[in-house]
Amino acid sequence: MSKVLIIYCHPNPKSFNHAVYGRLESELKKSHEVRTRDLYALKFNPVLDGQDLGELQAGKVSADIAAEQAEILWADRLAFVYPLWWFGRPALLKGYIDRVLSYGFAFEYGPNGGRGLLHHKKALVLMTTGTPEVILGTAQNALPTSMRDGTLKFCGIQEVLWKSFDGVIAVSDADRHAMLDEIPALAKTLVS
């Protein structure tokens, strides 16, 4: 039985993004241990300030960062559910990554450059966009790069599954239900 940590970042509990999160959580809970970090509900402080940075560089970790790092260490699988805003992650999620996936915890530097420390993890990223895929065009191919390669793989997570549900504002209810029906197979792949 896998232990999955879902990191969810959307402020609207009536959004399609929330429906994606709910379906993923429901599917995973059928046969796995699941914990969720709803960053908005937690009122997580996303600001990496000078004090945090100084403490992290000195090997100290504030209580809120330590709690999140403990959740990540508990899990053997990670799942991220969030919307695409301005061709990137929401600021709250970016700040979570800045503060929690810190040097000495998620990565370190050595003579050959950066080395990920979360190599035992597998991750799934589920992202929603309001923009139809046809309008996203070639940018669609670049969307996974920052999160998949620049963050998760840099931190040592070699297997990162990626799914973008596009145009969710403009598509029909039937299309949105079809998107949600893709989640059981994605959840199964995450824990296989």
pLDDT band at 116 (very low <50, low <70, confident <90, very high): very high
Residue with tokens 């929603």: 128
Q: Which range has highest mean pLDDT (33-42, 145-154, 169-178)? A: 33-42
Q: Quick one: pLDDT at residue 146?
A: 87
* Mean pLDDT to the nearest integer, 172-187: 97
Q: Which residues contact 120 (CB under 8 A, 6 or more apart)?
A: 76, 156
Residues in the chain: 192
Pick the CATH number of 3-191 from 3.40.50.360, 3.40.190.10, 3.40.47.10, 3.30.110.60: 3.40.50.360
d(CA 28, CA 133): 28
Q: Quick one: pLDDT at residue 119?
A: 82
Residue with tokens 């992290």: 56
The token duo for 20 is 């994606």
Q: Quick one: pLDDT at residue 137?
A: 61
User: What are the residue ranges spanned by the domains of the chain?
Assistant: 3-191
pLDDT > 90 fraction of the chain, expressed in percent and rounded: 78
Q: Which amino acid is at 57?
A: Q
